[in-house]
Protein backbone atom coordinates (compact mmCIF):
# COMPACT_ATOMS: atom_id res chain seq x y z
CA UNK A 1 0.00 0.00 0.00
CA UNK A 2 3.04 2.24 0.36
CA UNK A 3 3.05 5.15 -2.03
CA UNK A 4 -0.61 4.68 -2.87
CA UNK A 5 -0.58 1.11 -4.25
CA UNK A 6 -2.92 -1.12 -2.26
CA UNK A 7 -1.48 -4.61 -2.11
CA UNK A 8 -4.68 -6.44 -1.20
CA UNK A 9 -2.97 -9.81 -1.07
CA UNK A 10 -0.98 -8.53 1.93
CA UNK A 11 -4.00 -7.02 3.66
CA UNK A 12 -4.51 -8.69 7.04
CA UNK A 13 -8.14 -7.53 7.29
CA UNK A 14 -10.56 -10.25 6.21
CA UNK A 15 -13.51 -9.11 4.12
CA UNK A 16 -11.93 -5.64 4.12
CA UNK A 17 -14.59 -4.15 1.80
CA UNK A 18 -17.59 -6.00 3.31
CA UNK A 19 -18.25 -7.80 0.02
CA UNK A 20 -18.68 -11.25 1.58
CA UNK A 21 -22.09 -11.68 3.17
CA UNK A 22 -24.39 -14.47 4.23
CA UNK A 23 -27.53 -12.84 2.85
CA UNK A 24 -28.56 -9.47 1.49
CA UNK A 25 -29.60 -6.92 4.14
CA UNK A 26 -33.36 -6.66 4.40
CA UNK A 27 -34.99 -4.15 6.70
CA UNK A 28 -33.53 -1.35 8.77
CA UNK A 29 -31.00 -2.46 11.38
CA UNK A 30 -30.65 -5.83 9.75
CA UNK A 31 -27.43 -6.30 11.69
CA UNK A 32 -27.33 -8.64 14.62
CA UNK A 33 -28.54 -6.96 17.82
CA UNK A 34 -26.94 -9.54 20.07
CA UNK A 35 -23.64 -7.63 19.87
CA UNK A 36 -21.79 -10.78 18.84
CA UNK A 37 -21.53 -10.97 15.06
CA UNK A 38 -23.23 -9.40 12.07
CA UNK A 39 -25.67 -11.95 10.63
CA UNK A 40 -25.12 -10.49 7.16
CA UNK A 41 -21.38 -9.71 7.03
CA UNK A 42 -18.71 -12.38 7.18
CA UNK A 43 -16.02 -12.01 9.92
CA UNK A 44 -17.15 -8.65 11.39
CA UNK A 45 -18.36 -8.18 14.99
CA UNK A 46 -20.32 -5.79 17.18
CA UNK A 47 -18.10 -5.22 20.27
CA UNK A 48 -20.94 -3.65 22.26
CA UNK A 49 -24.73 -3.55 22.24
CA UNK A 50 -24.77 -1.02 19.42
CA UNK A 51 -26.38 -1.91 16.10
CA UNK A 52 -23.97 -1.22 13.27
CA UNK A 53 -25.62 -1.38 9.84
CA UNK A 54 -24.81 -3.15 6.56
CA UNK A 55 -25.58 -1.72 3.13
CA UNK A 56 -25.32 -3.54 -0.19
CA UNK A 57 -26.55 -2.98 -3.73
CA UNK A 58 -28.62 -6.12 -3.25
CA UNK A 59 -30.43 -4.73 -0.20
CA UNK A 60 -33.97 -3.37 0.02
CA UNK A 61 -34.80 0.33 -0.09
CA UNK A 62 -33.66 0.88 3.50
CA UNK A 63 -30.36 -0.97 3.17
CA UNK A 64 -29.51 -0.44 -0.46
CA UNK A 65 -26.78 1.51 -2.24
CA UNK A 66 -26.42 4.33 -3.15
CA UNK A 67 -29.69 5.52 -1.54
CA UNK A 68 -30.57 4.09 1.85
CA UNK A 69 -32.25 5.01 5.09
CA UNK A 70 -29.21 6.94 6.35
CA UNK A 71 -28.08 8.83 3.27
CA UNK A 72 -26.77 8.66 -0.25
CA UNK A 73 -23.31 7.32 -1.12
CA UNK A 74 -21.66 4.99 -3.59
CA UNK A 75 -19.17 2.43 -2.21
CA UNK A 76 -15.54 3.44 -2.19
CA UNK A 77 -15.00 0.11 -3.93
CA UNK A 78 -17.10 -2.95 -4.63
CA UNK A 79 -20.81 -3.16 -3.83
CA UNK A 80 -21.09 -2.70 -0.07
CA UNK A 81 -20.16 -0.69 3.01
CA UNK A 82 -21.13 -0.49 6.68
CA UNK A 83 -22.46 2.36 8.81
CA UNK A 84 -22.13 3.34 12.48
CA UNK A 85 -23.51 5.97 14.85
CA UNK A 86 -20.61 7.95 16.32
CA UNK A 87 -22.60 10.42 18.40
CA UNK A 88 -26.20 10.74 19.56
CA UNK A 89 -27.77 13.66 21.36
CA UNK A 90 -30.49 11.31 22.63
CA UNK A 91 -28.30 8.87 24.58
CA UNK A 92 -25.12 10.11 26.25
CA UNK A 93 -21.97 8.31 25.07
CA UNK A 94 -23.88 5.95 22.80
CA UNK A 95 -21.54 4.45 20.20
CA UNK A 96 -21.50 1.84 17.45
CA UNK A 97 -18.32 0.12 16.31
CA UNK A 98 -16.98 -2.27 13.69
CA UNK A 99 -14.62 -4.98 14.89
CA UNK A 100 -12.73 -7.80 13.17
CA UNK A 101 -10.07 -10.37 13.98
CA UNK A 102 -7.04 -10.09 11.69
CA UNK A 103 -5.94 -12.96 9.48
CA UNK A 104 -2.73 -13.21 11.50
CA UNK A 105 -1.24 -11.52 14.55
CA UNK A 106 1.07 -8.56 13.99
CA UNK A 107 4.83 -8.99 14.22
CA UNK A 108 6.54 -7.07 17.00
CA UNK A 109 8.82 -4.30 15.75
CA UNK A 110 7.27 -4.18 12.30
CA UNK A 111 5.57 -1.08 10.86
CA UNK A 112 2.12 -1.50 9.32
CA UNK A 113 0.21 0.75 6.97
CA UNK A 114 -3.32 1.22 8.36
CA UNK A 115 -6.18 2.77 6.37
CA UNK A 116 -9.93 3.03 6.22
CA UNK A 117 -12.36 5.33 4.42
CA UNK A 118 -15.24 7.29 5.95
CA UNK A 119 -18.07 9.41 4.59
CA UNK A 120 -20.55 11.47 6.58
CA UNK A 121 -24.05 10.20 5.81
CA UNK A 122 -25.67 13.63 6.03
CA UNK A 123 -29.44 13.78 6.72
CA UNK A 124 -31.84 11.63 4.70
CA UNK A 125 -35.32 12.97 3.86
CA UNK A 126 -37.71 10.09 4.43
CA UNK A 127 -40.69 11.56 2.66
CA UNK A 128 -40.26 14.09 -0.13
CA UNK A 129 -43.85 15.29 0.23
CA UNK A 130 -43.83 15.86 3.98
CA UNK A 131 -40.15 16.81 4.19
CA UNK A 132 -39.77 14.53 7.20
CA UNK A 133 -36.10 14.32 8.14
CA UNK A 134 -34.83 11.06 9.52
CA UNK A 135 -32.35 12.90 11.77
CA UNK A 136 -30.51 16.14 12.41
CA UNK A 137 -26.97 15.44 11.25
CA UNK A 138 -23.73 16.15 13.10
CA UNK A 139 -20.11 15.93 11.99
CA UNK A 140 -17.39 15.12 14.52
CA UNK A 141 -13.62 15.42 14.67
CA UNK A 142 -12.70 11.96 15.90
CA UNK A 143 -12.91 8.68 14.04
CA UNK A 144 -10.17 6.18 14.65
CA UNK A 145 -8.98 2.61 14.89
CA UNK A 146 -7.75 0.71 17.92
CA UNK A 147 -5.45 -2.27 17.37
CA UNK A 148 -5.24 -4.68 20.29
CA UNK A 149 -4.12 -8.13 21.36
CA UNK A 150 -7.42 -8.97 23.03
CA UNK A 151 -10.96 -8.16 21.98
CA UNK A 152 -12.31 -5.01 23.72
CA UNK A 153 -16.04 -5.10 24.51
CA UNK A 154 -18.62 -3.09 26.47
CA UNK A 155 -22.15 -4.44 26.72
CA UNK A 156 -23.49 -1.73 29.05
CA UNK A 157 -26.92 -0.36 28.25
CA UNK A 158 -26.80 3.30 27.20
CA UNK A 159 -23.23 4.43 27.84
CA UNK A 160 -21.51 1.75 25.78
CA UNK A 161 -18.41 3.65 24.67
CA UNK A 162 -15.21 1.61 24.42
CA UNK A 163 -12.78 3.43 26.68
CA UNK A 164 -9.64 2.55 24.80
CA UNK A 165 -7.29 4.79 22.84
CA UNK A 166 -7.14 4.62 19.04
CA UNK A 167 -3.63 4.44 17.59
CA UNK A 168 -4.86 5.59 14.19
CA UNK A 169 -7.14 8.63 14.11
CA UNK A 170 -8.08 11.40 11.72
CA UNK A 171 -6.66 14.89 12.12
CA UNK A 172 -8.48 16.12 15.23
CA UNK A 173 -8.30 19.70 13.99
CA UNK A 174 -10.50 18.68 11.08
CA UNK A 175 -14.25 18.02 11.25
CA UNK A 176 -15.31 15.03 9.13
CA UNK A 177 -18.21 16.73 7.35
CA UNK A 178 -17.80 15.63 3.72
CA UNK A 179 -21.02 13.92 2.59
CA UNK A 180 -20.11 13.74 -1.11
CA UNK A 181 -16.71 12.03 -1.01
CA UNK A 182 -14.85 9.40 0.93
CA UNK A 183 -12.19 10.65 3.37
CA UNK A 184 -9.09 8.57 4.03
CA UNK A 185 -8.09 7.99 7.65
CA UNK A 186 -4.60 6.50 7.75
CA UNK A 187 -1.43 6.13 9.72
CA UNK A 188 1.64 4.00 10.34
CA UNK A 189 1.43 1.59 13.27
CA UNK A 190 4.49 0.32 15.16
CA UNK A 191 3.46 -3.17 16.25
CA UNK A 192 4.31 -4.43 19.72
CA UNK A 193 3.60 -7.99 18.67
CA UNK A 194 0.59 -10.26 19.06
CA UNK A 195 -2.09 -7.70 18.11
CA UNK A 196 -4.95 -9.46 16.32
CA UNK A 197 -8.10 -7.30 16.69
CA UNK A 198 -9.01 -3.95 15.20
CA UNK A 199 -11.96 -1.79 16.20
CA UNK A 200 -13.24 1.24 14.27
CA UNK A 201 -15.37 4.04 15.70
CA UNK A 202 -15.39 7.07 17.98
CA UNK A 203 -13.62 6.53 21.30
CA UNK A 204 -13.97 10.09 22.64
CA UNK A 205 -16.65 10.88 25.24
CA UNK A 206 -19.42 13.35 24.39
CA UNK A 207 -18.00 15.93 26.81
CA UNK A 208 -14.66 16.01 24.98
CA UNK A 209 -15.98 15.65 21.45
CA UNK A 210 -15.79 18.47 18.94
CA UNK A 211 -18.96 18.37 16.85
CA UNK A 212 -20.77 20.49 14.31
CA UNK A 213 -24.32 20.46 12.92
CA UNK A 214 -24.19 20.01 9.15
CA UNK A 215 -27.92 19.47 8.52
CA UNK A 216 -30.44 21.32 10.69
CA UNK A 217 -33.74 19.70 11.51
CA UNK A 218 -37.05 21.19 10.43
CA UNK A 219 -38.98 20.29 13.54
CA UNK A 220 -39.95 16.89 12.18
CA UNK A 221 -36.66 15.06 12.67
CA UNK A 222 -36.74 11.74 14.49
CA UNK A 223 -33.15 11.63 15.78
CA UNK A 224 -30.14 13.91 16.21
CA UNK A 225 -26.92 12.04 15.63
CA UNK A 226 -23.66 11.68 13.73
CA UNK A 227 -23.63 8.78 11.29
CA UNK A 228 -20.73 7.60 9.11
CA UNK A 229 -20.32 5.07 6.33
CA UNK A 230 -17.16 2.93 6.54
CA UNK A 231 -15.43 1.11 3.66
CA UNK A 232 -12.13 -0.46 2.57
CA UNK A 233 -10.19 -1.26 5.75
CA UNK A 234 -6.49 -2.10 5.37
CA UNK A 235 -3.73 -3.31 7.68
CA UNK A 236 -0.73 -4.04 5.48
CA UNK A 237 2.83 -4.90 6.58
CA UNK A 238 5.52 -2.61 5.19
CA UNK A 239 9.27 -2.80 4.76
CA UNK A 240 9.77 0.58 6.40
CA UNK A 241 12.71 0.66 8.79
CA UNK A 242 12.68 3.79 10.89
CA UNK A 243 15.75 5.09 12.66
CA UNK A 244 15.06 7.95 15.03
CA UNK A 245 16.67 11.29 14.44
CA UNK A 246 18.88 10.94 17.50
CA UNK A 247 18.97 11.96 21.17
CA UNK A 248 19.02 15.52 22.46
CA UNK A 249 22.58 16.80 22.37
CA UNK A 250 24.88 19.77 22.94
CA UNK A 251 27.41 21.24 20.53
CA UNK A 252 30.11 23.88 20.90
CA UNK A 253 29.40 27.28 19.41
CA UNK A 254 30.99 27.54 16.01
CA UNK A 255 30.37 23.87 15.23
CA UNK A 256 27.50 22.47 13.14
CA UNK A 257 25.64 19.18 12.77
CA UNK A 258 24.02 17.42 9.81
CA UNK A 259 20.71 15.67 10.51
CA UNK A 260 19.94 13.00 7.93
CA UNK A 261 16.46 11.43 7.80
CA UNK A 262 16.79 9.85 4.36
CA UNK A 263 14.59 6.76 4.02
CA UNK A 264 14.51 4.67 0.81
CA UNK A 265 10.72 4.22 1.03
CA UNK A 266 9.86 7.83 1.86
CA UNK A 267 7.80 9.93 -0.53
CA UNK A 268 8.60 13.27 1.07
CA UNK A 269 10.16 15.13 3.98
CA UNK A 270 9.29 18.20 6.00
CA UNK A 271 11.23 20.07 8.69
CA UNK A 272 9.80 22.51 11.23
CA UNK A 273 10.70 25.52 9.07
CA UNK A 274 9.30 24.15 5.81
CA UNK A 275 12.55 22.70 4.43
CA UNK A 276 11.83 19.55 2.38
CA UNK A 277 15.37 18.22 2.01
CA UNK A 278 16.09 15.06 4.05
CA UNK A 279 19.46 16.48 5.13
CA UNK A 280 19.36 19.47 7.48
CA UNK A 281 22.34 21.57 8.60
CA UNK A 282 22.03 22.68 12.23
CA UNK A 283 24.05 25.66 13.44
CA UNK A 284 21.96 27.20 16.22
CA UNK A 285 20.17 26.06 19.35
CA UNK A 286 16.57 24.90 19.06
CA UNK A 287 14.15 22.01 18.72
CA UNK A 288 14.22 20.31 15.33
CA UNK A 289 11.11 18.45 14.16
CA UNK A 290 11.23 16.13 11.16
CA UNK A 291 8.30 14.50 9.39
CA UNK A 292 8.82 11.66 6.91
CA UNK A 293 5.96 10.90 4.52
CA UNK A 294 5.15 7.43 3.19
CA UNK A 295 2.51 8.00 0.55
CA UNK A 296 -1.10 7.65 1.62
CA UNK A 297 -0.04 5.53 4.60
CA UNK A 298 0.78 8.67 6.55
CA UNK A 299 3.93 9.98 8.13
CA UNK A 300 6.36 9.44 10.99
CA UNK A 301 7.51 12.37 13.11
CA UNK A 302 10.53 12.70 15.34
CA UNK A 303 12.34 15.55 17.05
CA UNK A 304 15.40 16.42 19.07
CA UNK A 305 16.75 19.43 20.92
CA UNK A 306 20.21 20.78 20.15
CA UNK A 307 21.91 23.26 22.46
CA UNK A 308 24.99 25.19 21.38
CA UNK A 309 27.20 26.04 24.35
CA UNK A 310 30.18 28.34 24.84
CA UNK A 311 33.56 27.48 26.32
CA UNK A 312 33.57 28.40 30.03
CA UNK A 313 34.52 31.98 30.87
CA UNK A 314 34.96 32.53 34.60
CA UNK A 315 35.27 35.92 36.31
CA UNK A 316 34.99 35.96 40.09
CA UNK A 317 35.64 39.69 40.30
CA UNK A 318 38.59 41.91 41.22
CA UNK A 319 40.49 41.58 44.48
CA UNK A 320 38.64 43.54 47.14
CA UNK A 321 38.12 44.27 50.83
CA UNK A 322 34.95 43.29 52.64
CA UNK A 323 33.60 44.20 56.03
CA UNK A 324 33.94 41.66 58.78
CA UNK A 325 30.79 39.80 59.92
CA UNK A 326 29.54 39.77 56.32
CA UNK A 327 29.96 37.22 53.51
CA UNK A 328 30.45 37.34 49.76
CA UNK A 329 28.80 34.85 47.39
CA UNK A 330 31.17 33.96 44.57
CA UNK A 331 29.25 32.50 41.63
CA UNK A 332 29.85 31.30 38.09
CA UNK A 333 27.42 30.26 35.36
CA UNK A 334 28.63 27.91 32.64
CA UNK A 335 26.54 26.59 29.75
CA UNK A 336 26.11 22.92 28.94
CA UNK A 337 27.16 19.98 31.06
CA UNK A 338 29.27 21.99 33.51
CA UNK A 339 31.48 20.73 36.32
CA UNK A 340 32.95 23.00 39.00
CA UNK A 341 35.85 22.71 41.45
CA UNK A 342 36.67 25.31 44.12
CA UNK A 343 39.89 25.65 46.10
CA UNK A 344 38.46 23.45 48.87
CA UNK A 345 37.34 20.70 46.46
CA UNK A 346 33.61 21.54 46.56
CA UNK A 347 31.68 21.20 43.30
CA UNK A 348 28.85 23.74 43.37
CA UNK A 349 28.63 26.69 41.00
CA UNK A 350 28.80 29.09 43.98
CA UNK A 351 30.93 29.50 47.08
CA UNK A 352 30.27 31.63 50.16
CA UNK A 353 33.45 33.39 51.32
CA UNK A 354 33.57 34.70 54.90
CA UNK A 355 37.29 34.89 55.70
CA UNK A 356 40.31 36.60 54.21
CA UNK A 357 42.17 34.52 51.66
CA UNK A 358 42.59 33.55 48.02
CA UNK A 359 39.70 31.78 46.32
CA UNK A 360 39.79 30.03 42.94
CA UNK A 361 37.37 28.16 40.71
CA UNK A 362 37.97 25.78 37.81
CA UNK A 363 34.99 25.16 35.50
CA UNK A 364 34.76 22.57 32.72
CA UNK A 365 32.15 21.70 30.09
CA UNK A 366 32.11 19.78 26.82
CA UNK A 367 33.76 22.71 25.06
CA UNK A 368 36.75 23.34 27.37
CA UNK A 369 37.63 24.79 30.76
CA UNK A 370 38.55 28.07 32.45
CA UNK A 371 39.86 29.20 35.86
CA UNK A 372 39.84 32.43 37.85
CA UNK A 373 41.22 33.60 41.20
CA UNK A 374 40.22 36.36 43.61
CA UNK A 375 41.79 37.60 46.87
CA UNK A 376 39.51 38.88 49.61
CA UNK A 377 40.42 40.88 52.74
CA UNK A 378 37.82 40.98 55.48
CA UNK A 379 38.32 44.21 57.47
CA UNK A 380 36.70 46.06 60.36
CA UNK A 381 34.21 48.38 58.72
CA UNK A 382 32.77 49.91 61.91
CA UNK A 383 32.68 53.70 61.88
CA UNK A 384 31.70 54.89 65.34
CA UNK A 385 32.60 57.52 67.90
CA UNK A 386 33.47 56.38 71.43
CA UNK A 387 33.00 59.30 73.90
CA UNK A 388 34.11 59.26 77.56
CA UNK A 389 31.48 60.24 80.11
CA UNK A 390 33.97 62.02 82.43
CA UNK A 391 37.22 63.92 81.91
CA UNK A 392 39.54 65.63 84.42
CA UNK A 393 41.62 68.48 82.96
CA UNK A 394 43.87 68.89 86.04
CA UNK A 395 47.25 68.67 84.30
CA UNK A 396 48.22 65.26 85.67
CA UNK A 397 48.62 63.88 82.15
CA UNK A 398 45.71 61.48 82.55
CA UNK A 399 42.37 62.19 80.89
CA UNK A 400 43.20 65.87 80.51
CA UNK A 401 41.37 66.27 77.17
CA UNK A 402 37.82 65.62 76.11
CA UNK A 403 38.47 63.81 72.80
CA UNK A 404 36.26 61.08 71.24
CA UNK A 405 37.95 57.95 69.94
CA UNK A 406 36.94 57.47 66.28
CA UNK A 407 36.82 53.82 65.16
CA UNK A 408 36.76 54.28 61.38
CA UNK A 409 39.06 52.86 58.72
CA UNK A 410 38.59 55.85 56.47
CA UNK A 411 37.20 58.99 58.12
CA UNK A 412 36.33 61.58 55.47
CA UNK A 413 34.83 64.39 57.58
CA UNK A 414 34.66 65.27 61.27
CA UNK A 415 33.19 68.04 63.46
CA UNK A 416 33.03 68.18 67.27
CA UNK A 417 31.07 70.81 69.22
CA UNK A 418 30.82 71.14 73.02
CA UNK A 419 28.21 73.27 74.80
CA UNK A 420 27.80 74.32 78.43
CA UNK A 421 24.54 74.00 80.29
CA UNK A 422 23.44 77.45 79.09
CA UNK A 423 23.88 76.42 75.46
CA UNK A 424 27.05 78.38 74.87
CA UNK A 425 29.54 76.87 72.44
CA UNK A 426 32.70 76.37 74.45
CA UNK A 427 34.70 74.32 71.94
CA UNK A 428 34.65 73.29 68.24
CA UNK A 429 37.11 71.44 65.99
CA UNK A 430 37.26 69.69 62.61
CA UNK A 431 40.46 67.87 63.49
CA UNK A 432 39.96 64.41 64.90
CA UNK A 433 43.30 64.73 66.72
CA UNK A 434 42.23 67.79 68.72
CA UNK A 435 40.38 67.64 72.04
CA UNK A 436 38.97 70.17 74.55
CA UNK A 437 41.36 71.06 77.34
CA UNK A 438 38.59 72.20 79.72
CA UNK A 439 39.16 75.95 79.26
CA UNK A 440 36.65 78.54 78.06
CA UNK A 441 37.63 82.10 77.17
CA UNK A 442 41.15 81.38 78.42
CA UNK A 443 39.81 80.44 81.84
CA UNK A 444 39.23 77.02 83.43
CA UNK A 445 35.64 76.04 82.72
CA UNK A 446 33.27 75.32 85.55
CA UNK A 447 32.87 71.75 86.69
CA UNK A 448 29.58 70.11 85.81
CA UNK A 449 27.70 68.65 82.89
CA UNK A 450 28.45 69.53 79.26
CA UNK A 451 26.84 68.50 75.97
CA UNK A 452 28.69 67.24 72.88
CA UNK A 453 27.60 67.00 69.23
CA UNK A 454 29.65 65.00 66.68
CA UNK A 455 29.00 64.96 62.91
CA UNK A 456 31.25 62.63 60.92
CA UNK A 457 31.44 60.63 57.67
CA UNK A 458 33.32 57.49 56.71
CA UNK A 459 33.78 55.13 53.73
CA UNK A 460 32.43 51.58 54.03
CA UNK A 461 32.78 49.24 51.03
CA UNK A 462 33.21 52.21 48.69
CA UNK A 463 30.08 53.85 50.08
CA UNK A 464 29.99 57.05 52.13
CA UNK A 465 28.25 56.78 55.50
CA UNK A 466 27.33 59.92 57.51
CA UNK A 467 26.44 59.83 61.19
CA UNK A 468 25.57 62.18 64.06
CA UNK A 469 26.13 61.44 67.73
CA UNK A 470 25.23 63.57 70.75
CA UNK A 471 25.27 63.16 74.51
CA UNK A 472 26.69 64.60 77.72
CA UNK A 473 29.71 64.19 79.92
CA UNK A 474 30.95 65.57 83.25
CA UNK A 475 33.94 67.84 83.73
CA UNK A 476 35.64 67.16 87.07
CA UNK A 477 38.78 68.63 88.62
pLDDT at 45 over 80: yes
Which is higher by pLDDT, 119 or 136? 119
Torsion-angle region of 219 (φ positive above 0: left; ψ -120 to 50: alpha; else: beta):
left
Residue 220 CA to residue 229 CA, distance in Å, equals 24
- The whole model's pTM is what? 0.70
Look at domain 320-379 and name its CATH class: mainly beta
Residue 106 CA to residue 331 CA, distance in Å, equals 57
pLDDT at 29 over 60: no
Residue 320 to residues 287, 292, 376, 462: CA-CA distances in angstroms? Answer: 43, 59, 5, 10
What pLDDT band is residue 33 in, cutting at 50, 70 and 90?
very low
pLDDT score for 124: 63
pLDDT score for 69: 83
Note the CATH number of domain 2-237.
2.60.120.260
Model confidence over 413-465: pLDDT tens digits?
999 999 999 999 999 999 999 999 999 999 999 999 999 999 998 876 666 77
Mean pLDDT for the chain overall: 88
Determine contact, residues 351/361, Cβ cutoff 8 Å: yes
Name which of 239, 271, 245 is nearest 260 in CA terms.
Answer: 245
For residues 211-231, average pLDDT: 79
Phi, psi of 150, deg, nearest 5: -100, 175
What pLDDT band is residue 62 in, cutting at 50, 70 and 90?
confident
Q: What is the DSSP string of 2-59?
A: GGG---GGG--STTTTS--BSS---STT-S-SSSS--SSBSSEE-SBS---EEEETTS
pLDDT score for 3: 40
pLDDT at 12 over 50: yes
pLDDT score for 190: 96
pLDDT at 5 over 50: no
Model confidence over 259-275: pLDDT tens digits?
999 999 999 999 999 99
CA angle 76, 82, 85 (to 5 degrees): 120
Q: In the chain, where are the structural domains located?
A: 2-237, 249-307, 320-379, 384-475
What pLDDT band is residue 135 in, cutting at 50, 70 and 90?
low
Largest CA distance in the chain: 140
Residue 316 CA to residue 355 CA, distance in Å, equals 16
Name which of 206, 38, 218 is nearest 131 in CA terms.
Answer: 218
pLDDT score for 1: 41
CA angle 116, 117, 123 (to 5 degrees): 140
Residue 385 CA to residue 137 CA, distance in Å, equals 92
Residue 145 CA to residue 189 CA, distance in Å, equals 11
* Range with the largest mean pLDDT of 127-131, 160-164, 172-176, 321-325: 160-164
Name which of 3, 223, 244, 241 is nearest 96 in CA terms.
Answer: 223
What pLDDT band is residue 336 in, cutting at 50, 70 and 90?
confident
pLDDT score for 274: 96
Between β-strands 357-365 and 299-309, what pairing exists: parallel, antiparallel or unpaired?
unpaired
Look at domain 384-475 and name its CATH class: mainly beta
Quick check: do 320-379 and 384-475 share a fold? yes
Name which of 122, 110, 10 is nearest 66 in CA terms.
Answer: 122
pLDDT at 38 over 70: no
Residue 205 to residues 96, 145, 162, 163, 249: CA-CA distances in angstroms? Answer: 13, 15, 9, 9, 40
pLDDT score for 466: 83
Model confidence over 148-159: pLDDT tens digits?
999 999 888 778
Model confidence over 222-239: pLDDT tens digits?
668 899 999 999 999 999
Amino acid sequence: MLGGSKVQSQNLVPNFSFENYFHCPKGFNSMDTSAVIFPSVDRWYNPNNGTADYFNVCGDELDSIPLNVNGFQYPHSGNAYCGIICYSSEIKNYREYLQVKLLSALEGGRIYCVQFYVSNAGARILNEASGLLYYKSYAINSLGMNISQGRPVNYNIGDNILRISPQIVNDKDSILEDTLNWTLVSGLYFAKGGEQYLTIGNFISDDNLNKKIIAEGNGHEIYSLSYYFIDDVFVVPTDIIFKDIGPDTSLCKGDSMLLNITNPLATGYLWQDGITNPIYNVHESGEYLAKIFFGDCGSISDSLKINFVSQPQIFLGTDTSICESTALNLKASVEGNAQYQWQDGSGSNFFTASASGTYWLNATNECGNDQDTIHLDFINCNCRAVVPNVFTPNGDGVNDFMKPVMECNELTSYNLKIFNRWGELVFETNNVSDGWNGRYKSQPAETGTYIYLINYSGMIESRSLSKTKSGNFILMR
